Structure 1
Amino acid sequence: MSQTSTVKTRILIISDTHNAALAPSTNHDVAFREPLPKADVLLHCGDLTGLGFLEEHEQALDMLGRIDADLKLVIAGNHDISLDQKHYTRRGQDWHGFDDPDQTYAARAKELWQGEKAKAAGVTYLEEGTHCFVLKNGARLRVYASPYQPEFGDMAFQYADNQDRFNPKDQSTPDSQSIVENPVPDFPAVDVMMTHGPPLGILDDVGRAHAGCEHLLRAARRCKPKLHCFGHIHEGWGARRVKWKEGDNFYIPWKYHVERYESVKVDHERMKADRAAFVDISQDGEEALVWGRETLMVNASIMTVEYRPHQGPWIVDMDLDKATNNAQS
């Protein structure tokens, strides 16, 4: 592919903001402060709120409205319980402490993210599945999005460990139960995967254990996006360049899907000064990505384990195909 057929695009990634406001520009102790770097696209990978109260959704929208990006894509996370209608019907009263007799609270939360206030903030709320956008810079962006992650604390958008919701039924993880509704597509259909939870073994450490999803790891290897961003595991903040195992044998132990990976080094003082950690995987950058062999994995959780918004956003510069006249948006 010639260089002229692509457009260098800047993507700003955040996750797990949990109602945090951007710190004042004068607070140089944190990177998550006003103004964040301007970007072509903002990705928020879920856990917008603490427990999905309407006022929390309002606050999250206000925060996103203060970020300068031409397109802002948002998914939910396990804490955004009112955005999961099934879960809220079953457990909403337990979480929020009040009845919802007419079953409208969750619908009002979803409407907030799909209505006029979100539109005014430049925000597009994504349901699980594949989406395509034409950007103002002329690029085409193809995204697979999913708010789901393995069960933890009976919260929103969860599935059992033995349930595979990311791979087609004929490619499901052995001995798993297929619950797929919107499978991750094969390479090269997607530029970016945007999930709330991490894949197994990648930026998912919780103490001496892994909290990521094996089924998602297998799906990511099939898909081989240029970028896979997520959050959920606060202590996993960081970025890794993953080189996938070659071949089409996906029925192997999870640890063998990755041939090798390299952690992205971060100068934390520079990150605070720049308001983000920067990675350039475009073809004219120093860390050019080999698409189809490599994926940049990013855990963009802003909150620390102690729920302090002290972890920086990520800026990824990457090449996207130029949009064609028949591109969908």
Structure 2
Amino acid sequence: MVLDSLPWRRKTDAAPPDPFEPAPFLRLAFQAPVKLILYHAYHTITSLRSAPTPLKHPIRIVCISDTRGHIVDDVPDGDILIHAGDMTIGGSVPELQAQVDWLCSLPHKEIIVISGNHDTYLDPRTRPSLRDDQRAGAVDWKRVHYLQHRRLSLSIEVEPPSADGEETHLLGRETKSRRVRIYGAPQIPARGDMNVHAFQYLRGRDAWSETVPEDTDILVTHTPPKYHMDLSLPSGMGCEHLAAEVKRVKPTLHVFGHVHWGAGQEVVWWEGCHDAYEKGMRVQPRWFRGLLSPRLWWNAFRVVYRGLRELIWDKVWGGQGPNTIMVNAAQMHGSIGRLGSPIQVVDI
């Protein structure tokens, strides 16, 4: 008798969980209990802090990503519309052109677009994977600013917000021209076939250091930075080298997508609480799932201690340190294949 044919030998190898799907809370509590405490302590404390104060003449940024060939209904008005990649499913020229035509029909003053890993045609390395009819011709970008490792400086005419609800374009209201510097880059840690999915690099490789101009106001990438809106537990699907680059530059706004379940906004305060959070999340516990890791417990303590100090400084004395508003603008609701996440709007 062949042992492999016995019933008790069948289905012993379960498929590994998809890292782009959220892990159940109970599994996280069993696998990484200290990191779970650290993660929720950090996000609870930082959520209590005051929101960054926009300038007197704010610029309204409307953020979307991962539309995958769909047309988004009821896009809010704003000064700048940003699409952070994955405009299409297959990445063909007709798909891309359809998305560009839709974006150009929207009333926003400026439209910024980068590529995502599904936008195959835009990466010369993956373009040959398309059929001849899918890559015939070229994309007419019209008034869309397509950024591929490129910096753009825009001058935006803005008006102060109305205190009483009146229309802000009424005669006599003060207007001001504000210059905003935007940098866009599409590369992501590998996810899928490197010959089909665009702009990928091997996970762990540094594709970011010293690439973003220091005076960048708005950074647009397709991948999230590691440990921020990227399904951070148990391991995080963002890029650690991008996270270090964002910390170096400290843009006012960072827009991305790619990890659909991470959709939303958060403010990162570049202070001691955040430093302890990232150091703790990087710890790889070896024994008893981190319960006996002094480094992990120490950083969890520092998150609470430094976070409470910074919260008191904010609430009592009104102090606000350097910060970046991070926006995961993915429109796809998880992996269900249809839109569902809200459009993100930020005033800076």
TM-score (norm 2): 0.63
Alignment of 1:125 with 2:155, yes or no, is no
Q: Return the offset for 1:123.
A: 1.2
Residue 184 of structure 1 aligns with an amino acid whose one-letter code is V
User: Whose radius of gyration is greater, 1 or 2?
Assistant: 2
Matches within 5 A, 1:99-110: 99=132, 105=135, 108=137
Alpha-carbon displacement from aligned partner over 1:153-201 (angstroms, at most 9, x marks no partner):
0211111123212113xxxxxxxxxxxxxx1233xx1111110010001
Residue 156 of structure 1 aligns with an amino acid whose one-letter code is A
Larger deviation, residues 130-139 vs 234-243: 130-139
Residue 216 of structure 1 aligns with an amino acid whose one-letter code is L
Higher strand share: 1
Matches within 5 A, 1:69-80: 69-80=108-119
* Residue in structure 1 matched with residue 247 of structure 2 by the alignment: 221
Alpha-carbon displacement from aligned partner over 1:263-301 (angstroms, at most 9, x marks no partner):
xxxxxxxxxxxxxxxxxxxxxxxxx994x6111111000
Q: Percent identity?
A: 34
* Residue in structure 1 matched with residue 207 of structure 2 by the alignment: 165
Separation (CA, whole Å) in 2 of partners of 1:6 and 1:143:
20
Alignment of 1:84 with 2:123, yes or no, is yes
Q: Return the offset for 1:105.
A: 2.4
Larger deviation, residues 227-236 vs 204-213: 204-213
Alignment of 1:311 with 2:311, yes or no, is no
Q: Return the offset for 1:99.
A: 4.8
Structure 1 residues 254 and 158, CA gap change in structure 2 (3 angstroms): farther
* Residue in structure 1 matched with residue 70 of structure 2 by the alignment: 20
Separation (CA, whole Å) in 2 of partners of 1:124 and 1:314:
20
Alignment of 1:142 with 2:181, yes or no, is yes
Paired residues of 2:68 and 2:86 also in contact (CA < 8 A): yes
Match of residue 185, structure 1, among 213, 217, 221: 213
* Residue in structure 2 matched with residue 67 of structure 1 by the alignment: 106
Q: Return the offset for 1:311.
A: 0.9
Separation (CA, whole Å) in 2 of partners of 1:129 and 1:223:
16
Q: How many residues align?
A: 242
Separation (CA, whole Å) in 2 of partners of 1:311 and 1:125:
24
Q: Partner of 2:89: helix, strand, or coil?
A: coil
Paired residues of 2:255 and 2:326 also in contact (CA < 8 A): yes
Residue 21 of structure 1 aligns with an amino acid whose one-letter code is I
Alignment of 1:46 with 2:72, yes or no, is no
Alignment of 1:293 with 2:343, yes or no, is no
Give unmatched runs, 5+ long, in structure 2: 1-52, 159-176, 283-298, 305-317
Residue 311 of structure 1 aligns with an amino acid whose one-letter code is S
Q: Return the offset for 1:207.
A: 7.0
Separation (CA, whole Å) in 1 of partners of 2:120 and 2:150:
19
Across the aligned residues of Structure 1 and Structure 2, the Cα RMSD in angstroms comes to 3.2
TM-score (norm 1): 0.66
Paired residues of 1:74 and 1:125 also in contact (CA < 8 A): yes
Structure 1 residues 254 and 214, CA gap change in structure 2 (3 angstroms): farther
